């Protein structure tokens, strides 16, 4: 039996529940979960929760739940339909999708696949015309916002990619425009490609340049402290994404949930704050909202669902998280997401002080 057949039989036998449970037990997830576990939920009783409304408005767009599909690259490595299947799954659940600059389906293919709200994530390349070209394509094809990933002046040392001699995948957005073929003896062609293309000189003043080439609102992804959050607002972004790039960039960078409140307090409600990283359960979403996040972004769970069952797998993952959030809200005495407040969670320190 060849590997492809074996893989197909494996996924046929896997349920979405078992796949998500495997994801929740991964090394990265365990580290992130430790920080979520430190937060306890403080429920309110005798509240009429016969009707739960999880809907929210993100940058003027109403969604069924405070969930956004995080931009992640190369979905065709997980499923032949790639980002098109992911987009349809998100649209079916009425949640926003973030499409990666490094997608394996084109901007046009994703845009024409279904009618939905989508944001487009970008890196700034040394050749600025490449980034400008992609931003204009996204705007032309109906994307509603730009997500600037700002934590990757260089690619982090991804030892698994080096060990497995990762090759750069087919980036169809760039076909006929720039080459994605890079030869390297460093173990990972992807790392070599990033080194050749990413602009390490990117700084705050470049946001003004980005604003000059598009009318779309700009969110910044990769903020991990209050000081950078304030600088981002001064630079003119309309949203802040607290993210550590899936813990794949800088070793020992903080868990995003552990710095969320610092960022929220620094922002003072001037722009929405989104949390990216570590979301595996509806209770995680609830805790993030209680600490001030407007919504959360989910990445790995979506890829697991896509790999298992394509579009329907993506829908199942989203619906599982929505169902868990709805139940958590009901048990915590919250009828709407606006009812979820800081008083609904306590940190270890707060619980300790209560005992004194």
Annotated binding site for FMN, which residues? 100, 121, 149, 158, 221, 243, 276-280, 299-300
The string over 81-96, giving b where at least 16 C-beta atoms fall within 10 Å of a residue's C-beta and e elsewhere, is bbbbbbbbbbbbbbbb
Residues flagged as binding site:
100, 121, 123, 149, 158, 221, 243, 245, 248, 276-280, 299-300
The string over 99-117, giving b where at least 16 C-beta atoms fall within 10 Å of a residue's C-beta and e elsewhere, is bbbbbbbbbebbbebbebb
Q: Please indicate whether residue 35 is annotated as part of the active site.
A: no
Query: Residue 167 burial by CB count (10 A; 0-12/13-18/19+): exposed, middle or buried?
Result: middle
Cβ atoms of residues 278 and 24 within 8 Å: no
Please state, in angstroms and rounded to a whole number, the distance separating the CA atoms of residues 37 and 110.
Answer: 37
Please state, in angstroms and rounded to a whole number, the distance separating the CA atoms of residues 83 and 109.
Answer: 9
Q: Distance from first CA to last CA of the chain, Å, rounded?
A: 64
* Residues forming beta bridges with residue 275, ordered by sequence position: 242, 296
Read off φ and ψ for residue 329, nearest 5 degrees: -60, -45
Taking CB atoms within 8 Å and a gap of at least 24, the contacts of 83-87 are 83/109, 83/110, 84/109, 84/110, 84/113, 85/306, 85/310, 85/311, 85/314, 86/302, 86/306, 86/311, 86/314, 87/113, 87/114, 87/116, 87/118
DSSP state of 53: B
Active-site entry in 35, 79, 245, 344: 245
Residues flagged as binding site for glyoxylate:
123, 245, 248
Q: Where in the sequence numbering do the catalytic residues fall?
A: 245
């Amino acid at each position: 039996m060849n590997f492809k057949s074996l893989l197909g039989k494996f996924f046929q036998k896997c349920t979405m529940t078992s796949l998500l449970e495997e994801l929740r037990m991964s090394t990265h997830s365990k580290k992130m979960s430790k920080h979520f576990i430190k937060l306890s939920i403080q429920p309110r009783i005798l509240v009429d929760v016969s009707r739960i409304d999880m809907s929210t408005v993100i940058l003027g767009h109403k969604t069924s739940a405070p969930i956004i599909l995080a931009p992640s690259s190369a979905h065709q490595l997980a499923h032949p339909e790639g980002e098109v299947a992911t987009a349809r799954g998100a649209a079916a659940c009425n949640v926003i999708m973030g499409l990666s600059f490094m997608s394996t389906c084109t901007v046009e293919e994703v845009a024409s696949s279904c009618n939905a709200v989508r944001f487009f994530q970008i890196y700034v390349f040394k050749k600025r015309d490449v980034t400008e070209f992609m931003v204009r394509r996204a705007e032309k094809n109906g994307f509603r916002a730009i997500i600037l990933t700002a934590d990757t002046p260089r690619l982090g040392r991804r030892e698994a990619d080096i060990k497995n001699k990762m090759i750069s995948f087919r980036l169809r957005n760039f076909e006929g425009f720039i080459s994605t073929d890079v030869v390297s003896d460093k173990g990972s062609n992807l790392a070599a490609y990033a080194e050749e293309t990413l602009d390490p000189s990117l700084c705050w003043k470049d946001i003004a340049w980005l604003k000059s080439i598009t009318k779309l609102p700009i969110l910044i992804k990769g903020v991990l402290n209050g000081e950078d959050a304030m600088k981002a607002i001064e630079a003119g972004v309309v949203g802040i994404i607290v993210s550590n790039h899936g813990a794949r960039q800088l070793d020992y960078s903080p868990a995003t949930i552990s710095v969320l409140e610092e960022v929220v307090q620094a922002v003072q409600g001037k722009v929405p704050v989104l949390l990216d990283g570590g979301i595996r359960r509806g209770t995680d979403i609830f805790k993030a909202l209680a600490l001030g996040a407007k919504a959360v972004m989910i990445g790995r769970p979506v890829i697991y669902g896509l790999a298992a069952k394509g579009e329907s797998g993506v829908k199942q993952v989203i619906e599982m998280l929505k169902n868990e959030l709805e139940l958590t809200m009901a048990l915590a005495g919250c009828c709407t997401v606006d009812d979820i407040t800081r008083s609904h969670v306590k940190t270890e320190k707060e619980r300790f002080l209560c005992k004194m």
